[in-house]
Amino acid sequence: MRVLVVEDDEKLGQQIATGLRKAGFAVDLAQSLADADMNISVNRYDVLVVDRGMPDGDGVQLIGAYRSAGYRVPALVLTARDGLSDRIAGFEHGADDYLTKPFALAELAARVRALCRRRDNPAPTRVVLGDIDIDLPRRRVQRGGILRTLTPKEFAVLELLAARAGTVVTRSELIEACWDEMAEPNSNVVDAVMAGLRRKLGPPQVIETVRGAGFVLGGAACAR
């Protein structure tokens, strides 16, 4: 899942990005509303995390403008403005959640993950394929009842494949959703993560490579 963090405080922005990346998200940073607008115009995001006091305006105005244009990606306002009228303004401009500073990174990650599940086409909460059980909200994978420990990137790839179980996910879609613009991934990086994921899941393989197209999590997967 790819997140855009709109925060003008460079140090705080980097802390947020680091925390969300450790939680398994791909994260881009924007330090102004103009930068955010440019990022949104060229990238697909699953969630926006937006500060209010930006150097070129109020972050909720950005959310409101995109809502008026039909942009429905979930948005969380992250700000020091904690008054009732401030929170109401955030929701009236189309924010889906409102978190005040100071905050815990673990709570922010949990709220962002919850917003991902509330999208127009939400991922299933659980995917079962044979003896493989993927619990998406808890980020746990078991095979034959044995817990398999994945890296955040491996789980991010598996999460996307699970959300679209039975259909092909292209390399470009994996890169767009699971790597941010700072990572500069290439085909070898995708293959390395996929190899590690397959190795940890073990045989028989449930992730099929479709030559010239991408990857698919077995068609027999049952989402519930």
pLDDT in tens, 94-126: 999 999 998 999 999 999 988 987 764 555 567
Own/partner pairs, 7-11, CB within 8 angstroms, 24+ separation: 7/31, 7/49, 7/51, 7/78, 8/32, 8/51, 8/53, 8/54, 8/55, 9/51
- Tell me the Ramachandran region of residue 167: left when phi exceeds 0, alpha when psi lies from -120 to 50, beta otherwise: beta
pLDDT tens digits, one per residue of 169-198 = 988 888 888 887 666 556 588 889 999 999
Q: Does domain 2-117 have CATH number 3.40.50.2300?
A: yes
Domain boundaries, the chain: 2-117, 126-223
Q: Does domain 126-223 have CATH number 3.80.30.20?
A: no
**pTM across the whole model:** 0.62
